[in-house]
Structure 1
Amino acid sequence: MFLAAFLFVGCNDDENFNPGEPEDPDCYSVYFPTQENIGSKELDPAAPTEMTFTVRRLKSEGAIVVPVAVTSSEEGIFVPSQIEFADGQEETTFSIQFPQAEIGTTYKCEVNIEDKKYASVYGEKATGFAFSVTRVKWNKLTGKGGETKGKWRDDIISTLFNTANPNAEVDVEIYERADKPGYYRMNPFTQDLIRALFNGTAQACTEPNIIIDATNPDAVWIPYQTTGVTLGGDGEIEIASKVNANFSSVSESASLYGTLKDGIITFPATGIMVNFTVSGGWYGANGSGLQRIMLPGAKAYDYTLALTNTEPAAGVVKVGFKFGADVAKVKYAFFNGSMSDALADVRSGEIESGETPSTEITASGTVSASFDDTGVYSVVGNMYNTAGELVGRSFLSFGYVKSGEESQNAVILSVRTELSWEKEALGYTPENSIKAILFGQNIQSGYWGLFKTSDLAGLSTAQLGQVAKSSGDAFTEEELAKINGKESLVPFLVGLNSGTSYTLLVSAFNGYFSKVYAVEQTTAGKEDPMQQKYKFDDVKGEVSKDDLFNTTWNYYAVDAFDENDATNRQYLGKVTFSENADDPNYVKVKGLSSYLASNLDTKDDTFLAKYNGLVSPMPTCHIGMFKTYHVGNMFTYEENPTGINGSQGCLYAGYVDDGILAFVPNPNYVTQGYTFKGIYWGGFGNYDPATGKFTNLAADLVQFDYLMLINPANDPNAVTAAAVARELEVRPANNFVELRGPELIQVLWSEQTGKPVNRATFGGYGMQPDLGVADAVATFSEGSMPQAPGAIVMIGKKVSLK
């Protein structure tokens, strides 16, 4: 709708000032009220090519015919009738016909009353409107067996939220445009889907139709549109494929299109983007690549073959064949050397043609294989359906060791740890760091990580290897080169707690065998809960609102701007919590900015924190003015000393010991390269209360890292001081802001606790050891994994059926 526009300009003594156009005192004030036909409309081709609109006027005396200006996207399409009012009539209707409109084409039309005798120049009523119309036929899809519904499997909401039932699937009716085969319309974002995902309903769910453009089966995409779903204060969820048609910044070659094959639409992982209408900002969805649409009657066939192998033992390698549900038989053959994807296609064709002899099996099982010589071998398996048609192939490369040659092909690796002062200048001491030393021969791959020894108690060698693989880091090519070369790999592992036992886990694979190493090292000094750096798995319990509200907490943190004591927590005052009357899911917190509050104009730094059993401070909260600056908070993280971030859920506070609350980084962000550590308050030149956004960062005010709150009854220092008074030193802003918006990831307590966490934070390389001439390997535990970690599992490359 076109509304009258106003521009208000301040008055001055400019002699060239011209007053605005005056109103006609006899104006009839004709206007267009809000009505259904305004906007984008689709009409069935069988429907009349005419639309009717309502018109009103404020001055009803006299019979009039209102002149209107009609413009359209194509000349000659729209034919309006006259707008006529009888004497005393306040409301009438008129129609616009479009008999020449072709099916499948969208036509746009604008209608305006321009004569000031009929339309008010400065009135608040709309004197114009716009609409578009498309004549289009939608046909409901039906499967060959009479199926009237397809299926929608979600990986959009499931990626961004911790759902009770991730990747839930619901039935949907699907319509196809008659003039545009492959252009589909469906309505998946209903309360039924939300209930299936969350076991509850959405805050709002308008249930709009969703368009999927599969007119090119090899380039399926989702146009930018709303889902109509609102799950929180961030607004409606909007979606769009990550393709050039939606985002000009994405080149056509980098566009992530989906595909339509055998009635099933799939999309590549992270190929769907999500925006929130209130908080703004695009985020990747379809994180697992499981978003799927099945047209009515389509069947998802499981044509997969998982191939695995054991390590060689007594001259035998066992190869496991696990059939997909719809695989009827497999023909396989062994080949010399490793296998690439392209070469596997060639070998698969040779098996199919009979050029290469093969063995046929009709069920999942294990094949024991022996060869004449030690080396690398491969197996290729062709998959067939019940009709005997080739539907895909898989392959696996593995190392084989002839019986009697095990010792000369064993894993050669030395793993040692020590405490060192060599990086004291960087703040790394025997109390907070461990130096690791790894060197060996022919190590092809592996995993490593540093864990608290107590977290690994009672685990077998095989279980330790799984921990290294699942929670540790894979060796990079650079690290493998150092291990196998003259340099050795000598990393400093930093950010550790004093007086604490850690275990360095390494799982190494040389192409034939794997071996697990576990080396324990205790950092120097005495274990001090006050100075430990905690992670999420250190949180032992949630904190009740009664505990929060009924305690005046002693506040400790590392003052990043205190040059005299920038590494240890120091007492910063008192912190209190109180109820938030507007929303019980939030609490009010006061005192976290410490001495900054006494320097504010308001002397009050109260702001909100999310509460769900744990406490999570909110970002970008305006707590007042300091001189001419608007003061707001963001979060700091380990990976970049000058980076500050405006996301939600960066830090969570929970009990790590009796009466001790520690603010720990959200593990979901850690995996994205953001190990959050503290809260930063800066002075900004501008602040918009309507949007809550800060701009023009001008001054660094305070930054507190590794925040901790202690119940005075549990405080070993027995701090009783009420507050910390300190004159605020203003520094020119040295930080850059990442206003990423909320990631909408809430921690699920049951999913995150009880898992060993890799404590290794890389602090640079240390001095190379004098290795001498020694092949000895000293470890506390070692052993061979039952299944080679270097095994390559290739599943289901599908071929067309003809």
Structure 2
Amino acid sequence: MKSIKIFFLATVAIVAGLFTACSDDDFKAGPEVDGAQVYFPENVTTQHSISDDVSSIAIPVKRIAKDEALTVAVLASDESGLFTIPSSVSFAAGKETSELLITFDRTKLEDGKEYPLSFLINDEDNTTPYGNRSLDIIVAPWPWVKLGTGKFRDDYLCSMFNGGNPEIEVTIHEHKSKKGIYMIEEMYGWPFLTEFFKGSQEEIESQVKLTYTPVNITIDCSDPTKVVMPRQFTGIIDGDPAYGNYEIAMSTGGEGTLVNGVITFPQEALAFVCGAGSLKANKSGLFRILLPGAELTDYTLSAVYDGMKVSADGETASAVIDFTYGADVTNIRYVLVENELTEAETATLVAAIADGSAENINELQDFTVGGEKVSAEAVLPGPGTYTVVALPLDKAQKPVSGEASAASFYFPGIGGTSVPNDIAGSLYKVSAYPDAAAYVSKYPDYSSAVYEITGTEMKKIKTYFNKTSIIDNIEIQTGGLTLQDVVDKYGKELNADAMEELATTGKYWDIMINLTPGASYTLVVEATNNYGKKKLIVCEPFVTDIPPYTGELIIGKYGMSYAASAEDTFENVFEVIPTVGSNTEFFVKDFAVEDGTQWYATYDSAKSTLTMSGVQLGREDNGNLLGKFTEALTPNQTRGYGIFSFATEESEGSDPIVLTIDPASKQVSALTTDVEVPVADFTVNKIVGALAAYYADGTTITKQSGTTSAASAAKVQGVRTKIPFSSVRVPAHIGKSLDSRGLQMNATFVRNSDNTNHGVRTLSVKTAKCEPLPKQIGRRADFKIRENLPVLK
């Protein structure tokens, strides 16, 4: 059996301990004890969860001297007054064990409430200092009603380990007084773990180093449309204290649903949390709990516009709507309305279709249950934007609101044609853009940029703005997302006022502020025109200015080289960039690896040094990142690298990087610490090569011409698998996490305006079933009615 932790470099460090023996002179005997030596055992249960049929609790009491019969007095404390507790406990001759029997009326105890009880053996002649004379317990009436056996399919633990999505049977309870609150017995217990790891409990404990403490998981389904998974301990404990207890949690806004007895959550709405940090869970959206008696059904539905059909006489034109539906859908009800609907308007219309109050509800004729796709055509009033909102019907012919689908489209009508998608985008310096003249003094070119979008007949514009190094390596930065995926997930949509300005003047512009000086940025624009055509464009990179600088340290680009052997040389171009208003604080960009990273650095003129502490721009909260694997090399993030700095042979790789400054020329002249950039393969838990190595003895640094950053994208050199130096000196216990860069920019937009809403008017149309047509104009992707899901932070 083999299982690998995904996002940490698993290592083992063995520490030798020293043990000393005590001499006989150190030993001191305890006091002698007479009497029966009565005591409460160490392993007595202190937490009692009682079911409805329980009316008594037996507390074990033991003694050492057992020859004669004995009765000892017991004092008790009961704040509630609901428990009957004997004032003594008796032992039969020859018996070492007896019990204190506590009785109560279960109907008088409140479900979910805790009742504390305390006991004291009140007989000093027959107690012992070596045993417990007192005992505190909690009695808690069991607030759950057993529903029966359900099923649980996981998509949580595979965020941490390479494993599948096993489905197991589980016992499920519902809260007596709080309907919709469910408890799953030992959801992540050994039946699940042995199935997940395909091994025995002994193998899991010895090889994977996991143990399990029995824990029940609760889920709040009191609102079936917003199911909540509270953050809670799963019972799984990692043998590595850096990971510790495994917890399951839900991201903000990541509520799930309970539909027909099936509990599900959206993709990445759950989180894996441990001592080392957190990971997004439910990445495949497969996490599912089936309540007892639940029947799996497929009521999925997708509605999309699939072109225009013109009658044979050329007099009328119909919109063709394609419906793709699940195997259990018995029919489809839908409504067509003018204009594109807001999320709130769509939700209102879904509810009206569900309760039958919406006007002009259509239902398909001759519907085939168990099919996959059906098309319908609708005669519309004329050219314009329309929205179709559709609900599937379940086996009881009732609408399923949770599976509603909506799609907006542009209908050209007879004689209508599409137009070229002439979208364009550009980035400018604030000082070079005439319309931004009033903002030049407030938003300087070293921390600001103007973006301009031009185009005609546009219905929707989305923008995504980030550093060029991130956009050019988007799949690696995001773990496999394409640029289109990133725009869909993180793109900012222009509001109604901005779109009106674009329609009126042919362009829209705004200023982005709080940018990094000397950094390269790229703007991505996705445009959808009035005819449903989409286009994604990537604008030319733009480099912000270097801030004004009057200090003595020579800024700009430096070339660094280290000849590891006659055949193998490492070369690097890094850049020293000043900060605003300071002659001692700088940024060093692309040091050792040209990946766009900027490190904070401090210049000390007295010592003639420039020191990088290990803090990166944009990652200040993470502290010193030297000596850690922080960058991904592959889209699936199975490989990563980090910069390690060694000041001494005993170093662990996290020492500050110190550059020497020539006192005469004030240029960077040498490296005083050894720097290595190892590459780790997290699937095999070892270092497989290096990107670079620069040692103080032998590294040369020379000033290059030019003082500004290049507009070209940052690059990462290839991995050297046959590294010429002896070894990468990475201690086994560091470099555990791979923390990829965030995608969302901190740029602030200067110009703001409010969104506007449009009224909803349903359309009376004649519909008929028809075969799908060849696409005549572009289609717009459909969307589900669901909550907006922010990224877990």
Q: TM-score, normalised by structure 2?
A: 0.55
- In structure 1, stretches of 5+ residues that fail to align are 1-22, 143-148, 243-253, 458-462, 533-546, 573-591, 600-632, 665-677, 682-703, 725-741, 768-784, 798-802
Greater displacement, 362-371 / 228-237:
362-371
Given that 2:219 and 2:228 are in contact with CA atoms closer than 8 Å, whether structure 1 keeps it comes out as: yes
Q: Alpha-carbon deviations, 1:119-157, whole Å to 9, x = none? A: 67xx57533222234566987645xxxxxx411133544
Structure 2 partner of 1:406: 417
Query: What CA distance in whole angstroms lies between the structure 2 residues aligned with 1:349 and 1:179?
Result: 30
Tell me the SS of whatever aligns to 2:642: strand
Query: What CA distance in whole angstroms lies between the structure 2 residues aligned with 1:745 and 1:710?
Result: 14
Structure 2 partner of 1:95: 100
Structure 2 partner of 1:728: none
Structure 2 partner of 1:210: 216
Given that 1:318 and 1:369 are in contact with CA atoms closer than 8 Å, whether structure 2 keeps it comes out as: yes
Structure 2 partner of 1:154: 154
For residue 299 of structure 1, report the CA deviation from its aligned partner: 1.0
Out of 487, 490, 508, the residue aligned to residue 488 of structure 1 is 508
Tell me the SS of whatever aligns to 2:99: strand
Structure 1 partner of 2:21: none
Structure 1 partner of 2:167: 169
- In structure 2, stretches of 5+ residues that fail to align are 1-29, 311-316, 433-439, 476-480, 545-555, 559-564, 593-599, 608-612, 644-652, 657-671, 680-688, 702-733, 752-774, 788-793
Structure 2 partner of 1:460: none
For residue 289 of structure 1, report the CA deviation from its aligned partner: 7.2
Give matches, 1:726-741, under 5 Å: none
- Cα 1:190–1:266 change in 2 (3 A) is same
2:61 aligned with 1:54, yes or no? yes
Q: Alpha-carbon deviations, 1:584-626, whole Å to 9, x = none? A: xxxxxxxx99999xx9xxxxxxxxxxxxxxxxxxxxxxxxxxx
Return the letter of the residue paired with 1:663: G
Tell me the SS of whatever aligns to 2:508: coil
Query: What CA distance in whole angstroms lies between the structure 1 residues aligned with 2:742 and 2:142?
Result: 57
Q: Alpha-carbon deviations, 1:411-468, whole Å to 9, x = none? A: 5543235689869999977xx99864323456443334476798799xxxxx998467
Given that 2:74 and 2:120 are in contact with CA atoms closer than 8 Å, whether structure 1 keeps it comes out as: yes
Query: What CA distance in whole angstroms lies between the structure 1 residues aligned with 2:156 and 2:192?
Result: 12
Query: What CA distance in whole angstroms lies between the structure 2 residues aligned with 1:67 and 1:555?
Result: 84
Out of 101, 117, 130, the residue aligned to residue 109 of structure 1 is 117
Return the letter of the residue paired with 1:174: I
Return the letter of the residue paired with 2:151: K
Structure 2 partner of 1:245: none
- Cα 1:316–1:560 change in 2 (3 A) is farther
2:618 aligned with 1:651, yes or no? no
Given that 1:162 and 1:746 are in contact with CA atoms closer than 8 Å, whether structure 2 keeps it comes out as: no
2:426 aligned with 1:416, yes or no? yes
Structure 2 partner of 1:793: 783
Out of 505, 508, 532, the residue aligned to residue 527 of structure 2 is 508
Return the letter of the residue paired with 1:75: G
Structure 2 partner of 1:446: 461
Equivalences, count: 587
Give matches, 1:686-701, under 5 Å: none
Given that 2:173 and 2:184 are in contact with CA atoms closer than 8 Å, whether structure 1 keeps it comes out as: yes
Return the letter of the residue paired with 1:326: D
- Cα 1:419–1:518 change in 2 (3 A) is farther
Given that 2:510 and 2:750 are in contact with CA atoms closer than 8 Å, whether structure 1 keeps it comes out as: yes
- Cα 1:758–1:65 change in 2 (3 A) is closer
Out of 78, 86, 99, the residue aligned to residue 84 of structure 2 is 78
Given that 2:233 and 2:245 are in contact with CA atoms closer than 8 Å, whether structure 1 keeps it comes out as: yes
Given that 2:510 and 2:749 are in contact with CA atoms closer than 8 Å, whether structure 1 keeps it comes out as: yes
Give matches, 1:5-20, under 5 Å: none
Structure 2 partner of 1:132: 138
RMSD: 6.5
Given that 2:349 and 2:358 are in contact with CA atoms closer than 8 Å, whether structure 1 keeps it comes out as: no
Given that 2:76 and 2:117 are in contact with CA atoms closer than 8 Å, whether structure 1 keeps it comes out as: yes
Query: What CA distance in whole angstroms lies between the structure 2 residues aligned with 1:240 and 1:256?
Result: 10
Query: What CA distance in whole angstroms lies between the structure 2 residues aligned with 1:571 and 1:454?
Result: 19
- Cα 1:510–1:270 change in 2 (3 A) is same
Return the letter of the residue paired with 2:153: R
Tell me the SS of whatever aligns to 1:51: strand
Give matches, 1:449-460, under 5 Å: 449=464
Q: TM-score, normalised by structure 1?
A: 0.55
Tell me the SS of whatever aligns to 2:531: coil
Query: What CA distance in whole angstroms lies between the structure 1 residues aligned with 2:627 and 2:691?
Result: 30
Given that 2:677 and 2:691 are in contact with CA atoms closer than 8 Å, whether structure 1 keeps it comes out as: no
Out of 302, 305, 310, the residue aligned to residue 301 of structure 2 is 305
Name which structure has the greater RCO, CA cutoff 8 Å, separation 6+: 2
Query: What CA distance in whole angstroms lies between the structure 2 residues aligned with 1:515 and 1:644?
Result: 42
- Cα 1:594–1:64 change in 2 (3 A) is farther
Q: Alpha-carbon deviations, 1:227-260, whole Å to 9, x = none? A: 2112453222345789xxxxxxxxxxx9998765
Structure 1 partner of 2:547: none
Tell me the SS of whatever aligns to 1:227: strand
2:697 aligned with 1:720, yes or no? yes
Return the letter of the residue paired with 2:120: N
2:618 aligned with 1:638, yes or no? yes
2:242 aligned with 1:228, yes or no? no
- Cα 1:64–1:484 change in 2 (3 A) is farther
Query: What CA distance in whole angstroms lies between the structure 2 residues aligned with 1:718 and 1:680?
Result: 14
For residue 77 of structure 1, report the CA deviation from its aligned partner: 1.1
Tell me the SS of whatever aligns to 1:406: coil
Out of 341, 349, 358, the residue aligned to residue 346 of structure 2 is 341
Query: What CA distance in whole angstroms lies between the structure 1 residues aligned with 2:261 and 2:156?
Result: 20
Given that 1:37 and 1:131 are in contact with CA atoms closer than 8 Å, whether structure 2 keeps it comes out as: no
- Cα 1:348–1:161 change in 2 (3 A) is same
2:588 aligned with 1:568, yes or no? yes
For residue 272 of structure 1, report the CA deviation from its aligned partner: 7.0
Q: Alpha-carbon deviations, 1:276-320, whole Å to 9, x = none? A: 4x66x9998768876432123311222221112357799775432
